[in-house]
């Protein structure tokens, strides 16, 4: 396999790791919830476990999050391991969902009312607690699903450079997959200097040790 094939096999989309179908509106909302959890300064493992806890209890839609209420959200966050940010995240989730319901009615309507990617990002960041990191995480995996073209993250660009990958060669869903794979590679291997264990070690110009 070439380096792109190895990357894509080794590092699937985060949404796929969570069993989320981005082709479905309900799946896109679930990814929105997961992105909010991933956007905090917390480990991917805890964010993933916490999302799965929400799903296990069936609290995976705008209406169900609002209906659950603050105490139940805190309990779910704690059970998932999101203890450090449990109170603030419960408040944030309720604020976001209530504003989403009141202003747009649904996540899909928010997208449909946006004129382009920049406008969509702006609208998302009007929600208290959603910043550039969460927006980037959320939109990155929706290329090819929604008609959007978010900027490629600096993390992905840096790893792509070390592997001599020209990101301008990709677009749509394929670019989403390549960028996500590069971000995962950077977090799990490059940042930790785990070069000897890296699945794309043979293609890298920056192998350490």
Sign of the CA dihedral 142, 34, 30, 111? negative
Q: In the structure, what pLDDT confidence band is assigned to residue 207 with cuts at 50, 70 and 90?
A: low
* pLDDT tens-digit map of 9-31: 999 999 999 999 999 999 999 99
Residue with tokens 């290329």: 143
Instruction: Kindly state the percentage of the chain with pLDDT values over 70.
Output: 98
Residue 143 — φ and ψ, nearest 5°?
Answer: -60, 135
pLDDT for 33: 98
Digit-coded pLDDT (tens) for 21-73: 999 999 999 999 999 999 998 999 999 999 999 999 999 999 999 999 999 99
Q: Residues 189-203: what's their mean pLDDT?
A: 88
Whether pLDDT at 205 is above 80: no
Q: How many CB atoms lie within 10 A of CB 172?
A: 13
> Could you give the domains of the chain?
1-16+141-209 (no CATH), 23-135 (1.10.340.30)
- The full DSSP string for 35-50 is HHHHTSSS-HHHHHHH
Which residue's entry shows tokens 């959890």? 37
Strand-pair partners of 143: 146
Burial 26-49, CB ≥16 within 10 A → b, else e: ebbbbbbbbbbbbbbebeeebbbe
The position carrying tokens 């406008």 is 119
Q: Could you tell me the two tokens for 77?
A: 């966050």
Asked if pLDDT for residue 87 goes beyond 60, the answer is: yes
pLDDT band at 175 (very low <50, low <70, confident <90, very high): very high
The alpha carbons of the chain give a radius of gyration, in whole angstroms, of 18
pLDDT bin (cut points 50, 70, 90) of residue 180 is very high
| The overall pTM is greater than 0.75 | yes
Within a 13 Å sphere around the CA of 107, how many CA atoms are in the beta-carbon half? 22
> Do the Cβ atoms of 164 and 205 come closer than 8 Å?
yes
pLDDT level of residue 206 (50, 70, 90 thresholds): low
Coil, helix or strand at residue 129: coil
């Amino acid at each position: 396999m070439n380096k792109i094939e190895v990357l894509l096999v080794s590092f699937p989309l985060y949404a796929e790791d969570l069993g989320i179908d981005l082709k479905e509106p309900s799946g896109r909302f679930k990814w929105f919830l997961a992105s909010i959890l991933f956007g905090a300064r917390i480990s991917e493992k805890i964010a993933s476990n916490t999302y799965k806890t929400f799903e296990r209890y069936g609290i995976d839609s705008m209406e169900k999050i609002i209906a659950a209420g603050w105490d139940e959200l805190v309990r779910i966050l704690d059970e998932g391991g999101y203890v450090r940010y449990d109170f603030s995240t419960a408040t944030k989730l309720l604020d976001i969902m209530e504003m989403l319901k009141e202003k747009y009615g649904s996540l899909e309507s928010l997208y449909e009312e946006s004129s382009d990617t920049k406008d969509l990002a702006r609208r998302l960041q009007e929600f208290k607690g959603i910043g550039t990191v969460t927006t980037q995480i959320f939109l990155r995996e929706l290329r090819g699903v929604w008609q959007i073209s978010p900027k490629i993250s600096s993390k992905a660009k840096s790893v792509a450079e070390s592997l001599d990958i020209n990101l301008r060669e990709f677009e749509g869903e394929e670019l989403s997959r390549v960028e996500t794979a590069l971000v995962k590679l950077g977090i799990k291997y490059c940042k930790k200097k785990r070069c000897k264990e890296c699945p794309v070690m043979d293609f890298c110009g920056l192998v350490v040790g």
